[in-house]
Amino acid sequence: MRIDVLTLFPEMFEGVFSSSILGKASEKGIVTLNTVNFREYSENKHSTVDDYPYGGGGGMVLKPEPVFSAVEDLLSDGGSEEDSPRIILMCPQGETFTQAKAEELSRQRRLILICGHYEGYDERIRRYLVTDELSIGDYVLTGGEIPAMAVIDSVVRLLPGVLGNEQSAVTDSFSTGLLEYPHYTRPPKFRDWEVPEVLLSGHHGNIAQWRRKQALYRTWKRRPDLLKNRSPDKLEEQWLKEFEQGQFPD
């Protein structure tokens, strides 16, 4: 996969792209991460990329020319139809980013993310350039850089070969449609708090069942909205009834 990020602050990505899972994925050649400072595509001598909004009002607006030119330059390196990238505008008005969206994007060969700044984008960028608009939540940040980092991290960790078995994403919260079950490690007793006996039993079937019930309970308690589109099997139906009746697992 190749990911290009259009930003006015490429230095913000240096640490993130070279550390932890993203750093390792780049080193292994699984992903190529690249930043483009679209100020370099400004057509005026002061290198400005923003201008006053037509109609007046506060705040500056990102001009269309530098953003279009930077994307078109990236696309001019050819590539097959298959490589035709998703062009993603980071934007609080976009579709809310989810694990399902991360999974969908992880199946693409190429992504281009556009980070805004200032009050907004010239609407022609939104209408005629991008394929997706993504928001990381209902709050407003100063720029699209931190949202872009969140999206890139969650996509790259899903690429085959990026996570080892010990960090598998398969049971991560949301991947299964549920929040993840609780974890414990040594010691078996810390202060007065003991690890649930079943986890020390070595009985794989019972452990799997305990985890499943815990994941369902945690989701029911914290994020019941996630259960709305779920078709529970018989066992889950029975557990959900128990929770409704106030019978909770330890």
Q: Which segment (5-13, 143-151, 210-218, 236-244) binds ligand SAM by CB under 6 A?
A: 143-151
Q: Is 201 helix (H, G, I), strand (E, B) or coil?
A: coil
Q: Which segment (40-48, 140-148, 191-199, 218-226) binds ligand SAM by CB under 6 A?
A: 140-148
Residue numbers annotated as active site? 92, 119, 157, 172
- Minimum CB separation of residue 137 from ligand SAM in Å reads 5
Examine residue 137 and tell whether it contacts ligand SAM (CB under 6 A).
Answer: yes
Report the residue number, 117 or 213, with the smaller CB distance to ligand SAM.
117
Q: How far apart are CA 36 and CA 71, in angstroms?
A: 9
Instruction: Please identify which residue in 7, 64, 144, 158 interacts with ligand SAM, judged by CB under 6 A.
Output: 144
- Minimum CB separation of residue 204 from ligand SAM in Å reads 41
Examine residue 172 and tell whether it contacts ligand SAM (CB under 6 A).
Answer: no
- Minimum CB separation of residue 91 from ligand SAM in Å reads 5
Q: How many residues bind ligand SAM (CB under 6 A)?
A: 19
Interacting residues with ligand SAM between 89 and 128 (CB under 6 A) = 90-93, 115-117, 119-120
Examine residue 53 and tell whether it contacts ligand SAM (CB under 6 A).
Answer: no
Instruction: Please identify which residue in 136, 149, 152, 162 interacts with ligand SAM, judged by CB under 6 A.
Output: 136
Q: Which segment (34-42, 133-141, 186-194, 205-213) binds ligand SAM by CB under 6 A?
A: 133-141
Residue that has been written with the tokens 């007793």 in this structure: 189
Q: How far apart are CA 162 and CA 56, in angstroms?
A: 48
- Minimum CB separation of residue 96 from ligand SAM in Å reads 9
Q: How far apart are CA 67 and CA 130, in angstroms?
A: 11
Examine residue 135 and tell whether it contacts ligand SAM (CB under 6 A).
Answer: yes
Q: Give me the DSSP letters along 31-92.
A: -EEEEEEGGGG--STT---EEPPTT--SS-EE-HHHHHHHHHHHHTT---GGGPPEEEEEEE
For the stretch 177-181, contacts whose Cβ atoms lie closer than 8 Å and that sit 24 or more positions apart, written own/partner, are: 177/226, 177/230, 178/215, 178/216, 178/218, 178/219, 178/226, 179/215, 179/218, 179/219, 179/222, 179/223, 179/226, 180/215, 180/218, 181/210, 181/211, 181/212, 181/214, 181/215, 181/218
How is residue 92 written in tokens?
């609080």
Binding-site ranges for ligand SAM (CB under 6 A): 90-93, 115-117, 119-120, 135-137, 139-144, 147
